[in-house]
């Protein structure tokens, strides 16, 4: 079964909007695991507008499922990840001020950077994943860096799903086939939701993990957090 990793950035965003400690992102992560999630994802950014470095270190002490830290592999990020040693580091090409991840790696152009970073992470026993567009050439280039997995950037699928699901998922089917041929594991994330998740899962054989934050936390406002986690898990069965 495909694993569900819940991105808790939006819980931290709500906390930071008012200051203080409510809602408690660390407690929420523990509860989300208890509700059945297979992992916790965070994406700390330099301005700490949602998840902070302190959150990362606190979460590392309590997360018992797969802890996934996303981010751009600058020196500060790498030092933190190597100290925390999460189960997985997902490398994204975000510039510092970007609102949310909005592009996959141009892998060939950054091959030397990525290969060096990935070698360092793997030496520390950390599984690596590269955030990439659904492009077979990018997938094959990702394999050349030594990455363990790719994370398919699914925004285009989510945007095209309502009008034409088959057309929306087709590039991802091809990219996933290229990944399997290269021996890469397949993750996916960005704008996956209760409406489009099952169809995506059914068309991507060997999908290891989805990382979902914004849609899941938004749905939890209506359905409750425990119920929502289980609704997403149901879509993956």
- Chain length of the chain: 237
Confirm whether 190 is a catalytic residue: yes
Specify which residues 149 forms β-bridges with: 129, 185
Do residues 221 and 205 make contact, with C-beta atoms less than 8 angstroms apart?
A: no
Q: Based on the residue annotation, tell me whether 43 is a catalytic residue of this protein.
A: yes
Active-site pick, 33, 50, 70, 209: 70
- Could you say which of 50, 151, 190, 209 is catalytic? 190
Which residue, chain included where needed, has tokens 């030092």? 79
Q: Which residue in 43, 50, 151, 209 is the catalytic one?
A: 43
Place of tokens 């700490």: 48
Radius of gyration of the chain (CA): 17
Residues with catalytic function: 43, 70, 190
């Amino acid at each position: 079964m495909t694993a569900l990793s819940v991105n808790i950035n939006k819980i931290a965003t709500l906390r930071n909007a008012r200051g203080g400690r409510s809602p408690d992102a660390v407690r929420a992560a523990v509860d989300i695991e208890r509700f059945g999630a297979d992992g916790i994802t965070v994406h700390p950014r330099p301005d700490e507008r949602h998840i902070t470095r302190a959150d990362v270190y606190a979460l590392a002490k309590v997360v018992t499922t797969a802890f996934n830290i996303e981010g751009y592999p600058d020196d500060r990020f790498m030092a933190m990840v190597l100290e925390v040693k999460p189960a997985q580091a997902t490398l994204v090409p975000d510039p510092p001020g970007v609102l949310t991840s909005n592009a996959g790696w141009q892998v060939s152009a950054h091959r030397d950077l990525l290969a060096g970073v990935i070698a360092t992470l793997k030496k520390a026993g950390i599984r690596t994943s590269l955030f990439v567009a659904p492009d077979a050439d990018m997938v094959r280039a990702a394999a050349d860096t030594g990455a363990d997995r790719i994370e398919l950037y699914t925004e285009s699928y989510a945007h095209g799903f309502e009008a034409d699901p088959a057309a929306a998922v087709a590039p991802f089917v091809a990219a996933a086939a290229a990944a399997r041929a290269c021996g890469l594991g397949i993750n996916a994330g960005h704008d996956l939701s209760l409406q489009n998740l099952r169809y995506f899962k059914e068309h991507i054989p060997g999908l290891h993990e989805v990382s979902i934050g914004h849609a899941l936390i938004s749905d939890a406002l209506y359905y409750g957090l425990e119920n929502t986690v289980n609704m997403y898990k149901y879509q993956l069965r």
